[in-house]
Structure 1
Amino acid sequence: MKNYFHSVELDAELCCGCTNCLKRCPTEAIRIRGGKAHILSERCIDCGECIRICPHHAKRARSNSIDEIQPYKIKVAIPAPALFGQFNNLNDIDIVLTGLRAMGFDVIYEVSRAAELVSEATRNLIKEKKLRLPIISSACPAVVRLIKIRFPELCGNVLPLLAPMEVAAKMVRREIIEMTGVSDDEIGVFFITPCPAKVTEINNPTSTEKSAVNGAIAISQIYPELTSKMDKLNTIESIAKSGLIGVGWATSGGEAAAMLGDKYLAADGIENVIRVLEELEDEHIHGVDFIELNACSGGCVGGVLAVENPYVAQARIQNLRKYLPVSLNHLKNNDMDRMKWENELKFNAESFRLSDDIFEAMDMMEKMEQICKNLPGLDCGSCGAPTCRALAEDIVKGNAKETDCIHKLKARIQSVYDQLGKL
């Protein structure tokens, strides 16, 4: 079985087996066994929904600490545009960027700069009509992994361009090497992230063999110190080099609006994303060239590693965009070629494979169908599986038994009681 890296972790000591995460998980990656939640590694997409919903804080996301930048000769921060929506009354992005400099970063390169380049490249690809329409954005790694697991027929619709985070890391590395002559391994590039899915993408990339990003620091972790540094600034450096198109990527609809047309659709929140993908798979969506999907409500500002209410942050981003030019970054030379995926997006068959032997798998499938017919179909989650069908799958895999269903157990106990009463 393939080894998976996941940023979302479970603290078993805090877990009460309450089934909240079980019901919320979009890929049925959680089971309750022995009174504790267990995450199925091959199905988890690190969307962070279990972190968001857990009332006991038993789920958490791991990320890098600020101290991990120290070993590198040149320390680079590539902040997500969602970071700018975390601060009240902010009217100048340079205040945030100068604050990052004060924290010890030598170079600040906004991810929103790369977002403007990706937007331009996407517009060019739409004009060339070489891709299958509608094109689905590849910016949200949780959505890309969701498609790999649940919607194999849509893999060919995903935009084969690197996400702005990866593009920004590649570009800033190239600029630093050209300007200073330092070796690549002396440069430490750290993404300031609002979500755990980006942490996973850095450590286990989907679209490339190796990420150009060295690590990811959660906005929630960096926020207190950054706020303190921003309050104590004597001068503000002129660092920002992105416009409203790039900064707009922080919120739902920002990337789609950057297509500068009207044949687009934007959806946020994992349930809405799934609904759109299902309708797209069933060919119920027409007349759309581009689809932007964000697993988090409100877009990237809604990530579980952010600190501000996503809708408050969204309003702040919209207000901040008033002070910005449309775009400050444009494609040059071979920029578009450097953005292309190295790996083709393929269905992750292992996620729902019953057996490596096709005949055994078919036999297990038949047993699953039979077990499903005998289950109540309530999908109550009391058995420790999210649905009756998921329980049937666990049973044929040997990970559960039919009496784990409390309704079947109750019926069996009643049957034994009735038989004893006849003695």
Structure 2
Amino acid sequence: MKREAAFGAEPQGTAPRRRVVVDLGARSYDILIGPGLIDAAGAEIVARLPGIRAAIVTDETVGRLYLTRLSVALRAAGIEHVEIVLPAGEKTKSFEQLAHVVDAILAARLERGDAVIALGGGVIGDLAGFASAIVRRGMRFVQVPTTLLAQVDSSVGGKTGINSPRGKNLVGAFHQPSLVLADTALLDTLSPREFAAGYAEMVKYGLIDRPAFFDMLEADLGGVFGGGAARGEAIRVSCEAKAAVVAADEEEHGSRALLNLGHTFGHALEAAVGYDAARLVHGEGVAIGMVLAHRFSAELGFCPPEDADRVAAHLAAAGLPVRIGAIPDAPLTVEELMRGIAQDKKVEKGRLTFILTRGIGRAFVANDVDPAAVEAFLARELDR
């Protein structure tokens, strides 16, 4: 697969700091976007949560890069804290690691008014957020996302949780953060594969209901990957798009389900490979899933086939896989994928729900989708 390799920093002295508000009434919070925010974290946190103590939850990879900087920033603001360092990888989103984090927070005698700070990507954010939701029936929570995927998606909106052997994100809670600090300079240490995986979630917002944003990404793919103003602006638009959906439907009773475009197929693919990141990471599963959602929509007569081709071409240009056969090693089966789809969180009374589309920027919730049609479609896709 083609991978964009050039990454450029957004100069801290000239880059604007962007602010997006997630409007949830008394529980509203800021998403701050820009370079250098990790070093300002203590000041930003204490301004909103005065007098707190905290637990920083991170993983070994991110911890080596950024834990000292965050700790220094917290100490400078007078925030006492403990550090909880976990193994890296999707398999950390487990009952075992959740129990470890909960025990460490309790051992530190942190109170309900204190905070859990997630320093890392989506795995750490989801796990730390869930721990903060259940310890003492709910602590404060701050997100410091270090990947593009986390900055534009998982850190915003309050979905927290862990995986079960039966499926992804099946155990969790809605628990909103008090603050999100998206330091864009931290993205410069990502590998091209990690950045591309996050880019898939960015593209998703254009495909749901912002076709002009998809047009912009098509026109300036190199600018977003290269860094600078295009990257910062694309992150802002993505956060703004998600904030609007979350404000309208916080707990996914209706329109928020649209944010799962590509995820029903994508989660099934992740489960089928055993959450093996060497074969497939989340954003890659979402990329394949979004292409499948458009192709399935085209087969059902909802979406022009040309739109499905356009989506696939753009994601491929970003270095992302766009078909199931691109996943390395042993081939998958229809039966494996249907088992994952049957465990999807949107399933109601055994009826399958998919996010389908009538064209780019025109996604909709399709209830009671015929399983036989899905099986036949997957069989054809596995032969591509």
TM-score class, shorter-chain normalisation, is under 0.3
Bigger Rg over Cα: 1
Query: 1 or 2, which has the higher helix percentage?
Result: 2
Structure of greater relative contact order (alpha carbons < 8 Å, 6+ residues apart):
1
| TM-score for the superposition, normalised by structure 2 | 0.25
